[in-house]
A = this chain, B = another copy of it.
Amino acid sequence: MLTGKNIIANTVSGEGKVYHAINPASGGELQTGFHEATQEETDKAIALASVAFGEYRNKSAAEKANFLQAIGDEIIALGDDLIRRCMEETGLPEARLTGERGRTVNQLKHFANLLLEGSWVNARIDTAEPDRKPLPRPDIRSMLKPLGPVGVFGASNFPLAFSVAGGDTASALAAGCTVVFKAHPAHPGTCELVGTAIQRAVHKTGMPAGTFSMLHGKSTAVGMAIVKHPSITAIGFTGSFRGGKAIFDEANKRSRPIPVYAEMGSTNPVFILPGALKERMEAIAQDLAASVTLGAGQFCTNPGMVFVQRSAEEEKFSTTLSNRITESNAGTMLTPDMLANYKKGVERLQQSRGVQLAATGKNGASGQASANLLKTSVSAFLSDHSLEEEVFGPSTLAVLANDKSELLNAVEKLGGHLTATLHATDDDLKEYTDLIEKLEQKVGRLIINGYPTGVEVCHAMVHGGPYPSTTDSRTTSVGSSAITRFTRPVCYQNFPDALLPDALKHQNPLGILRFVNGGWKKE
C-alpha cells in the first residue's frame, strides 16, 4: 500500500537511496523502503512551493479554512491503516494514537475557525488627515501577510499532532504559506499516509499543487538542503537541542537569514512548596510519578526536575515518590537510538558529583525504558550546569534545598524552559510570590497545582519559552497564536480602496475587529 516515495506537489518521486523504518518494540525493519529525496527532488519541491505561494497566499480565509478541514477529513478517511502503521513505527499504544489523531484534526479545525473569525491579521487603519499642519497625514493601513514557502520538520514524539499535518504545518498553511515538509525517518510510513491525505485535500479543494510537498531523508542532508534553499522563508522544528541549534546556525549563515522556530525541549522544573507537601504529599508523589512516566516520558513538557525543601515531610514524599517510580512499568521508546540516549543520559546524571540514583522502575521488554528517580542537592546542582539539560525519557531529578533562599538561588541560575509548575497551598502562594516572579522570567508557561504534560490546544496556550527551550521565545508552537509566526506586517499607504486587501477595505467587508485611529472597531 505504501510507495516509499517523496511527495512532490501532485506527483510522487523516488530517485534516491532507500532506507527502512524500524519497529522499536522488535528492533526489526518494517516493510517498504523509503527513498531519500535527492537534491533535484528537493529543489523541485521548493520551486513548486514558490510558484504555488503566489496563488495560495491570495486564497480567501474561507478557502483556506475549507482546505484545512479537508485535510482533517482525509486523515480520518485513512482509517485504521494509519493507526496500525503508526503503532508499528513508534511503539505508541492505540488509544494514545487515536487520541492524537483527534488532536491533529482538532488543531486543523482550530486554525480553520481562526481564519473564519478573521481578526488574527491584526488589521490597523489610520485614516488620512488632509488638513493636518504642517503636513497632511496620508491614509495608512497594515495587516499581517504570509512570509512564503516554509520548511517544517516533524517531531518523533508526536507522529501525528506534531508531524506531517501537525501544528507547524497547520499554522503555516493557515497563515497562507506553502509547506515543504521533512518527513521524520522514525515514522516515514505514517508520514506517507498523512502526506497523501494532504495531497488529496489540495486537489479536492482546488489549491495550487505545490502548496504541499514532503521529502524523506534519514541523514541530515535533506533537512539542511531545505534550510539552505534561497526560496525557503522560515523553518518550524520540534526535536532535540542539537538538531534545532544546527538548523538555527545554518539559517543564520544564509546570505538571507530566515526565522527558525525550533522547539528543543526542556526540563520543566516542578516546585513542591512546604504547605502543599504537608497537605497532600501522597497525591503529589503519585501524580508526579504518573506525569514522569506518561508515554515513557517522551514529552517536551516532561517534568525532569523536582525542587523540594528538606523536611520531615520531604523525606516521606521522597520515599513515596521512590516507591511509585519503583512500581512503574517500563515503556517502549520511539526509537532504539532514543532508548540508548536515555540510558546514556541517566548514566551522565548519576556520574555527576553529588547525584544518587534513588529508584528505578520495573524492567521491560527489549526496546523499553525503565523509569528512574535521581536525587541531588541544590549545591551539587549549581556546581554542574549539565544537570539542567534534558534527559529525554521517563526520569526525573529531585533537587533538595536546605531552605527557601537556597531554592531562590537555584531558580536564579536556571536557563530557559517551556514550563514551570508549582504545587502550593494559598498560604504557600502568598509566601512565594518572589519565586513565581522569578520563574515567570524563565519559562513560557506557569502551572499551579497541575502537571506540565498535556498541552491544551487553545487560544491562550504558550508552548515556547526562553532559550535553550526554543530558539525564539516570542512565539508559541501550540495554539492559535502560532499562526503569526509565519507572517510579517505589510503597510499600504494612500491605496485606493479597490486595491486594498479585503481586511483593510473601508467598509470592512470581512466584519473583522480592527484597530482604527487608535480604537477597536468591528464596523
Contact with B along A118-159 (1 / 0, CB 8 A): 010010111000000011011011100101100000000000
Contact with B along A431-465 (1 / 0, CB 8 A): 00100110011011111111000101011111010
* A33 within 8 Å of B (CB atoms): no
Contact with B along A232-260 (1 / 0, CB 8 A): 00000000000000001100100011010
Known contacts A126-B460, A456-B126; A440 and B489 CB within 8 A of each other: no
B124 touches A448 (CB 8 A): no
Chain B residues near A467: list those with CB within 8 A.
Answer: 256-257
Chain B residues near A456: list those with CB within 8 A.
Answer: 126, 137-138, 140
A454 touches B135 (CB 8 A): yes
A460 touches B490 (CB 8 A): no
Complex CA gap A490/B447 in Å reads: 11
Tally of contact residues, A, Cβ under 8 A: 78
A464 touches B489 (CB 8 A): yes
Known contacts A249-B252, A494-B450; A513 and B518 CB within 8 A of each other: no
Taking CB as reference atom, which chain B residue is nearest A512? Answer: B520
* A481 within 8 Å of B (CB atoms): yes
Chain B residues near A473: list those with CB within 8 A.
Answer: 147, 488
Complex CA gap A134/B440 in Å reads: 30
* A408 within 8 Å of B (CB atoms): no
Known contacts A448-B493, A494-B450; A126 and B54 CB within 8 A of each other: no
B444 touches A490 (CB 8 A): yes
Q: Which of B99, B138, B426 contacts A450 (CB 8 A)?
A: B138
Q: Which of B426, B474, B487, B496 contacts A429 (CB 8 A)?
A: B496
B489 touches A476 (CB 8 A): yes
A491 touches B445 (CB 8 A): yes
A474 touches B490 (CB 8 A): no
List residues of A (198-242) whose CB comes within 8 Å of B's CBs: none
Taking CB as reference atom, which chain B residue is nearest A142? Answer: B460
B520 touches A471 (CB 8 A): no
A491 touches B515 (CB 8 A): no
- Give the residue among A124, A137, A462, A520 with the most B Cβ atoms within 10 A: A462
Taking CB as reference atom, which chain B residue is nearest A256? Answer: B467
Complex CA gap A249/B449 in Å reads: 42
Chain B residues near A126: list those with CB within 8 A.
Answer: 456, 458-461
Chain B residues near A466: list those with CB within 8 A.
Answer: 256, 488
Taking CB as reference atom, which chain B residue is nearest A459? Answer: B124
Chain B residues near A142: list those with CB within 8 A.
Answer: 460-462, 481
Taking CB as reference atom, which chain B residue is nearest A124? Answer: B460
A140 touches B491 (CB 8 A): no
Chain B residues near A426: list those with CB within 8 A.
Answer: 496
List residues of A (466-503) whose CB comes within 8 Å of B's CBs: 466-468, 471-476, 481, 487-496, 499
Contact with B along A85-112 (1 / 0, CB 8 A): 0000000000000010000000000000
Taking CB as reference atom, which chain B residue is nearest A259? Answer: B474
Q: How far is the CB of A370 from chain B (nearest CB, A)?
A: 27
List residues of A (51-89) whose CB comes within 8 Å of B's CBs: 54, 58
Q: Which of B141, B416, B441, B461 contacts A460 (CB 8 A)?
A: B141
* A117 within 8 Å of B (CB atoms): yes
Chain B residues near A138: list those with CB within 8 A.
Answer: 447, 450, 456
Chain B residues near A520: list those with CB within 8 A.
Answer: 119, 513, 520, 522
Complex CA gap A142/B464 in Å reads: 12
Chain B residues near A248: list those with CB within 8 A.
Answer: 252, 257
B474 touches A117 (CB 8 A): no
Complex CA gap A460/B137 in Å reads: 12
Complex CA gap A446/B472 in Å reads: 28
Chain B residues near A257: list those with CB within 8 A.
Answer: 248, 467, 471
Can you list 17 A-B contacts (CB < 8 A)? A113-B518, A124-B460, A125-B460, A126-B461, A142-B460, A256-B415, A256-B466, A433-B499, A443-B490, A444-B491, A445-B490, A448-B493, A450-B493, A460-B491, A460-B515, A474-B487, A476-B489
**Chain A residues in contact with chain B, CB under 8 A?**
54, 58, 99, 113, 117, 119, 122, 124-126, 134-135, 137-138, 140-142, 145, 147-148, 248-249, 252, 256-257, 259, 415-416, 426, 429, 433, 436-437, 440-441, 443-450, 454, 456, 458-462, 464, 466-468, 471-476, 481, 487-496, 499, 513, 515, 517-518, 520, 522
